[in-house]
Structure 1
Amino acid sequence: MLIGASALSVLAILSIVGYLLVREYRNTEEDAARSALNIVQLISRDIQNTLSIYDSSLSNLIDLLQSQALSSLAPQIQQSLLFDKATEAPSNAGFFVLDAEGKLIASSKPAGPLLNNASQQLWFKTHIKEQKDGLFISTPMLVSESPNEWNLILSRRITAPDGKFGGVAVAQMKISYFQGLFRGLDLGPTGNISLISTDGILLIRYPETDKFYTGQDVGQAPIFLRFINERYGSFTAMSKVFQLERLYNFAQVGDLPLVVVVALSTEHIFSNWRHTASLIGSATLLLCLGLLWLTWLLTRELRLRQHAEHELAALASTDPLTGLANRRMLDKTLDLEWRRAQRAGTPLSLIMIDIDHFKAFNDSYGHQAGDEALRQVAQAIKVNVRRPADLAARYGGEEFAVVLVDTDAAGTRLLAEKIRLAVEQMEPAHQANTLTVSLGACTRYAKPGDDQQELLNTADKALYQAKKRGRNRVMDINETGLNAPKPTNPL
């Protein structure tokens, strides 16, 4: 029970600590995802506001171009009015107006190489095919041979009054703007933030690495497909590029064809949790091992104590010379069985045994020979008293007693004769001298009010009669009188 209670306690401790650690793990993951999604939403809002400024500036530019009042003004005033709002757009590389043939008709800055042969550009052809007036965001375009000079083309279709294609209003936005926007975010040693078009083209990744670069097509990556399908959320997945488990947090930028992604390393996210879990786990394990060790020690001490108590009980109830029960155990057993026989109405028998001429034997051959003779007789008695409920005891000196439970007179006489014969047939205890015993037996059906001393006295009388009639014989006194079976080999 002690070991079971200790094991259950250890199991309960481990279960509670395990539950708390798992809950803390989930809380850590949720906190990291919540913080990253907040960053995603803030970045998305900033990008959406910035692109709204560009879109508003392009819309204003188109409205002014199609205004009849503008044509009456001087060219310098026209230029100033056309590109007045363009100065509000951050990190712009110029606003431009192209006619239906793709020729430049107005600009806030000198035209760069991106507008050369504009009619063949994808963004220009898209506006010719589609009659939508919404903002179009191109793929990143390299301004020069420098790897960091990338721009985005933001454009709107100019529709003539007759509904035909009238040209394109264009704004160039420096991608370096996003680097400044992302710079300073604490994403951990292996974390990063990316801006990807819904077509799967990487616009920018911060911090930059050789494995990901502006203009890279990641449209077939399973992780990107999940971004497109879910539009917003968090999930944990293994990065095949970095061979690390990462927590991906993403959101589409409003209605724009852009997705902001914040990727964090789970190793960094759970580093503090692992440290705490290691300390708590080690302390809990030591506590449980200590509890089990103390339980083992306590159990061991209890077993040793129980064993010692059993040994003391055995010593207290056993005769040290013969190994049979002692007088104290005899009295206790006789009292118990007498009261039980009274309740049940069953017979109780007692055999008193005495070694014949033992004093003369002891005087002739010494105490050591006498002790050996006692041990041999005790062994002969013990061999014949086989039932667990019966008791063979040393009564005192050279006398022995046998208590037989639920045994009638005939059974008692039979067992007494077996003991007598067994002693007679023993190997000589010393030289050629054969030991014999005299036995007195008594059987009683105890009634309420009877005294067990009557059983002892009667058995003792029967023993006296056996000695008086020549020894080496069994005398039986029961409730019907005295029986004296003839000895097999009387002395």
Structure 2
Amino acid sequence: MPIPIHESHHAPGALKRLPLLKASAFFIAAVCLCLCGLLYLQLEQSRRHDLALAEVASSNLTRAMAQQAEDTFMKADLVLTSLADWIQADGYDRMQLSRLQKTFSRRVQSLQQLHGIFLFDRQGQWVITSFDDLPHGSGVADREYFQFHQQNVSSLAHIGPAIRSRENGEWIIPVSKRVNDDHGNFTGVLLAGIKMAYFDEFFKSFSIDEHGAMFLARTDGTLLARRPFLESQIGTSVAQGAIFQKHLPLANAGNAMINSVVDDTVRLYGYRQLEAYPLVVSAASSRDAILKDWYENAFQSSVIVALVILGIGLFGWVFIHQVRDGGRIEADLRTAQEALELIATHDSLTGLANRRLFERALDIEFGRGARQGSALSLIMLDIDFFKSYNDNYGHVAGDHCLAEVARALKSYCQRNADLAVRYGGEEFAALLPDTDIHGAMVIAEQIRRSVIDKNISHSGSPTGHVTVSLGCYSFVPSGRDSVEVFIQRADAALYQAKHSGRNRTAVLSMEGGVETLTRSDR
């Protein structure tokens, strides 16, 4: 029955040590996670702010582009409308040709965006141009704008795909009108060519990054002008791009982060469809350029936070190791204390409880027996002729004999409350709570026979082997009993067993206040 000498003052610390270790690790991890979380929130907020500013700038840029493009085409449209009205009213006979040519030339000179103005007859042949010399060739019957007006009676201006002028090979955007006779029949096409170089210069007036882009396209996705200018892309279709597929059907203007179908660059596009003409303008800045400063700040902030986390981690590592070392030291101290308690309360040779632990156990069991009204028994036993055994076989053999007897005693003290004690020298005791005198006598006899069964040779004993004598006493504590009297009565029973010839069990009972002795010699 393990009864410690002192209450352990280290047990609460031991219970708290593991949570402290876990709490420390959790706290350090939580601090690191919070730092990472705050860094993420700050960087995300900064990124969104930069993108929002870029969206505002992109919207303003596309609005300016749309206004400029609309003004450019509207001026050409107005010129064509006035000329078409004149031609339809007065015709273009030989008497009018010189006058019309001069008018065409003056209008081109007044509008820097115009490449030239051309009049074609119903077969697509040149009639009048703003140039001094009339071109010669197969005409323009194969051009998209000419075929459009042949097939459509609309008097609205038509903006066709970009083409190379057959006058001088310059890239132009054709703005054309149908010319009718007095009966509304098709008589030709009036064309104003807008220089693509004009839009190129206009685009260059805006400050965008080297990976940015600007374009002017028809609403069907046909590319009219682009910055940076790539001749191979002029006239191609971007109708499968996200702007035309996803965004324009939902809104005539807006912003979107898109991966370009032209050069596979991710850009923030601002787009706007013109109100007066079927055209779309768009300006885009590359995502990398928009977030360039953000990337630098993110890198610097991340390095700083990483260094802080590294410092916290190193501190935490040292702290946790100190906690662990403290835990190990405390465990070692507890182990040492338990070892000291074991040494202080148990016999080193036999491993049984010593008299100090026995006395404490008696105090505890007297109180418990008094509270519960249960019997308490004590068996005292002594090795017969042990001095003679030591003299004949030596102290080493004597120690071995003591250990064997102790094992026999302990083997019959199986309950947690039972206590096997080396009382002194060759004398032992067994404290048996909740056991009456009959139970004590049964156990005593089992111990005595167990020692005999070990068959330890003893030439100094009449039986030729080691035996023990046992004395039993049992009573129900009342709370006013004496421990010394309790031991004396069990010892008296042991004395009677030895006096009666040894190798036997004696029981001391109290009947009517008179002590009587009974013996059991088996």
Q: Counterpart in 2 of 1:310?
A: 335
After superposition, residues 323-338 of structure 1 pair within 5 angstroms as: 323-338=351-366
Q: 2:237 — aligned with what?
A: 217
**Counterpart position of 1:352:** 380
Alignment of 1:78-227 (within 5 A): 82=107, 86-87=111-112, 92-98=113-119, 101=122, 117-130=139-152, 132=154, 136-143=158-165, 150-155=171-176, 167-175=189-197, 177-178=199-200, 181=203, 185=207, 187=209, 192-207=213-228, 213-220=233-240, 225-227=245-247
After superposition, the C-alpha distances for 1:322-372 in whole angstroms (9 at most, x for unaligned) are: 222233332333323332333222223222333333344335544333333
Pairwise CA distance, 1:477: 3.0
Aligned to 1:466: 497
| Unaligned stretches of 5+ residues in structure 2 | 1-18, 91-95
- Please, which of 321, 326, 333 is the counterpart of residue 349 of structure 2? 321
- Equivalent positions of 1:238-317 (< 5 A) are 242=264, 246=266, 248-255=268-275, 256-260=278-282, 262=284, 264=286, 269=291, 271-272=295-296, 273=298, 276-277=301-302, 280=305, 284=309, 287=312, 291=316, 294-295=319-320, 298-299=323-324, 301-317=326-342
Give the match's secondary structure for 1:225. helix
| Deviation by residue 1:216-239 (Cα, 9 ceiling, x = unmatched) | 334346786335445534246697
| CA pair 203-57 structure 1, distance change in 2 beyond 3 A | closer
Within 1, Cα distance between the matches of 2:229 and 2:432?
100
2:518 is matched with 484
TM-score, length basis structure 1? 0.77
The residue type paired with residue 222 of structure 2 is I
Alignment check: 8 A CA contact 2:216 2:279 kept: no
| 1:160 Cα deviation from its structure 2 partner | 7.4
TM-score normalised by structure 2 residue count: 0.73
Cα displacement (A) at 1:97:
4.8
- 1:112, CA displacement in angstroms? 10
Q: Deviations 1:54-81 (Å, cap 9, x if unpaired)?
A: 133124324543479x999x88995687
Gaps of 5+ in 1: none
- Structure 1 residues 224, 473: CA separation in 2 closer, same or farther (over 3 Å shift)? farther
CA contact (8 A) 2:375 2:433 kept: yes
Q: Is structure 2 residue 64 aligned with structure 1 residue 49?
A: no
Say which is worse superposed, 466-475 or 193-202, in terms of deviation: 193-202
25 and 117 in structure 1: CA distance in 2 versus 1, 3 angstrom threshold: farther
Question: Could you tell me which amino acid in structure 1 is paired with residue 337 of structure 2?
Answer: L
Does the Cα contact within 8 Å between 1:198 and 1:259 map onto a contact in 2?
no
Question: Which stretch has the larger CA shift, 33-42 or 110-119?
Answer: 110-119
Instruction: Please give the alpha-carbon distance, in whole angstroms, between the structure 1 residues aligned to 2:146 and 2:76.
Output: 15
Tell me, in whole angstroms, the C-alpha distance in 2 between the residues paired with 1:119 and 1:62: 19
Deviations along 1:265-314, one digit per CA (max 9) or x if unpaired, are 56995854467557646764774586367436524542452353134224
Q: Which residue of 2 aligns with 1:405?
A: 433
Q: How far does residue 416 in structure 1 lie from its aligned partner after superposition?
A: 1.8
| 2:411 aligned counterpart, secondary structure | helix
Aligned-pair distance for 1:378?
A: 1.9
Correspondence for 2:456:
428
Give the 5 Å matches for 1:377-416: 377-416=405-444
Matches within 5 A, 1:422-461: 422-428=450-456, 434-461=465-492
CA distance in 2, matches of 1:64, 1:239: 40
**Structure 1 residues 238, 172: CA separation in 2 closer, same or farther (over 3 Å shift)?**
closer
- Please say if residues 3 and 295 of structure 1, whose CA atoms lie closer than 8 Å, have aligned partners that are also in contact: yes
Distance 1:119 1:394, change over 3 A: same
RMSD: 4.6
Q: Is the 8 A contact 2:375 2:475 kept in 1?
A: yes
With over 3 angstroms needed to count, the CA separation of the structure-2 counterparts of 1:161 and 1:289, relative to structure 1, is farther
Change (3 A) 1:36 1:217: same
% same residue = 27
Paired residues, number: 478
